[in-house]
Structure 1
Amino acid sequence: MTGDYHRSLIITHTTLFIAMTTVFSWISIPFIPVPITLQTLGVLLTGTIMKRYAGIPMALYLLLGAIGLPVFHNGAAGLGVLIGPTGGYLIGFIPAAIMVGLCYEQESEKIHVAGLASGILIIYLFGLSWLILSVPMGIIPAITAGMLPFIPGDIIKSTAAFLITKRIQPYTTRLTTR
């Protein structure tokens, strides 16, 4: 595969996954303090398909939101979102997508499942840490409000990402092979 073709695939996939994560941010079940959206499904799918390049669309997604494009939940935008109570979850999208991507470069489905679980845990780690600092609140209230209600949905989203990727992966392998 030529370098130009490979770069064009990365650019195309980056654009696709930014758009998908943006659309998924608008699909939500209202919940306080953190809305339940499909954004994490977008993060996981970005990792499973873009593999080692998964951090690129997530970083650009956050950059677009930071400069004012309405890409976050309900069209929110600006640095205020990133430094607000949910900002840690958003920042966690970058390392989560990278972790999932690195795990999906391996052949083992067990490693794929571990990667998806690790991606969700990374988002929780960043999100809860920032929630504790920004609100401020203790660890137990933060876990109670910012993690426990979301675990069932995140299990469903992780399962969906696994199944979707398994179905479409034969058509996406060219991205990370040269």
Structure 2
Amino acid sequence: MLLTLRMVLFYLGYLLSIVWFSTTGIVFFSFFPYRIRSRYILLWNRFIIFWAALICGVRVKVIGAENLPKGPYVALSKHQSQWETYFLQYFLSPVSIVLKRELLNLPFFGWGLRLANPIAIDRGNPKQALKQTLDKGCKHLANNISVLIFPEGTRTKPGQDSKYAPAVPILQWLPGYRLYR
């Protein structure tokens, strides 16, 4: 019963905060440069991280942050839940996330997500998606904005082996690309 109550409370805060941050972001911040818009939208990510800790008891410990490059870089992450998208977008900021373009059409969530200037790709057209990722990714890197990619292309269960998108080996041609493990 307590678990159900916590879940309902978490999702209530989650939904209300999406509506709030998306609406206020569009109304007040859509005309500002990327750095200002993204900082505002990242407040939502911070809120979700805080809300998950407060309501659900989620705790995060980052190990190895000192190994991240100082300049912009391409980050690859396993995609196992919604959690890493919120956390990594905040933690690696400034970062542009590569995502399926359908997410941008979701009411409120997608509208706010547009303000963060993601690289929205059409997964139905892999060749075009790769070209977009490379073109826009290089532009972001040149503007000191890192790029976050989930190489499986979709969520996988924790611990499950997955196939990576065929474009991942192409990433080596991005300027400044280095593989960190």
TM exceeds 0.5?
no
The structure where strand makes up a greater share of residues is 2
Relative to the length of structure 2, the TM-score reads 0.35
Relative to the length of structure 1, the TM-score reads 0.36
Larger of the two Rg values belongs to structure: 2
